[in-house]
Amino acid sequence: MPPCREYVRKIRSVLDQKLEEALGDSVPPAPDGFPLSTLLTVAIEHRLMHAETLAYMLHQLPLSKKVPQAKSPSVVTPSIVQRTIEIPSGVATLGLSRASGAFGWDNEYESHTVNVPEFAIDAYKVTNLQYLEFVAAGGYEARAFWSDDDWNWRSGQGITQPAFWKREGNQWFYRTMFNDVPLPLHWPVYVSQAEAKAYANWAGKSLPTEAEWQRAAYGTPDGKEREFPWGPVTTECRVWQL
């Protein structure tokens, strides 16, 4: 085993042992008043942030600098029929309540509610196929679809297509973590917010606000909210008929 992996193995072993000992006893709060469970959650969430950052840094590395998997998984993505969903007006709760005891970062507190007027939202994410229509229509060269800051970014960086798209002749390819594959037309498109806003303007739509997104995920037809996007946690299975 390489020295770095052996080191990580030992550290994990020690941490697991100490955590088991600590969680098995009545541990007083830390000097700053935070209980051990909160500090552990902070450590885990922080670790996941770095894992996400590392993943997209690795994605941007040239394929020649990475060791591919022995066998790439076969991903079958069925085609979808795009449609919109009418969301009735109602309340959206943003942020977290400190009184709830739920873990959150400082910028996620305090909770508050806003009234959201009725609106319509796409049932599915924008696909590569839909975005390809924007590219083919000259969306990257049409100034009208971009804000000043976004246009300056696009122009200054010479952006003419999504970061992981590559064109060879008349065919588009998509760079996954380890391979270039023919552009998967029915995968959700992976672009920056600037590109997403330009596409939405071209399509005659707009990106959902935080309140609209929350309302679409947690709202109910009667204007109230449910605890989870998939509904209440009960022994029954109930759905919102759309």
Q: Name the pTM for this structure.
A: 0.81
Decide if 134 contacts 127 (C-beta within 8 A): no
Query: How far, in Å, CA of 150 to CA of 89, rounded?
Result: 31
Of residues 152, 150, 178, 153, the one with CA closest to residue 164: 178
Locus of tokens 């029915």: 186
User: For residue 205, what are its two tokens?
Assistant: 């739509």
Confidence of residue 32 (pLDDT cuts 50, 70, 90): low
User: pLDDT tens digits, residue range 162-195?
Assistant: 999 999 999 999 999 998 999 999 999 999 999 9
| 3-state secondary structure labels for all residues of 23-86 | HHCCCCCCCCCCCHHHHHHHHHHHHHHHHHHHHHHHHHCCHHHCCCCCCCCCCCCCCCCCCEEE
pLDDT by residue (tens digit) across 133-163?
999 999 999 999 999 999 999 999 999 999 9
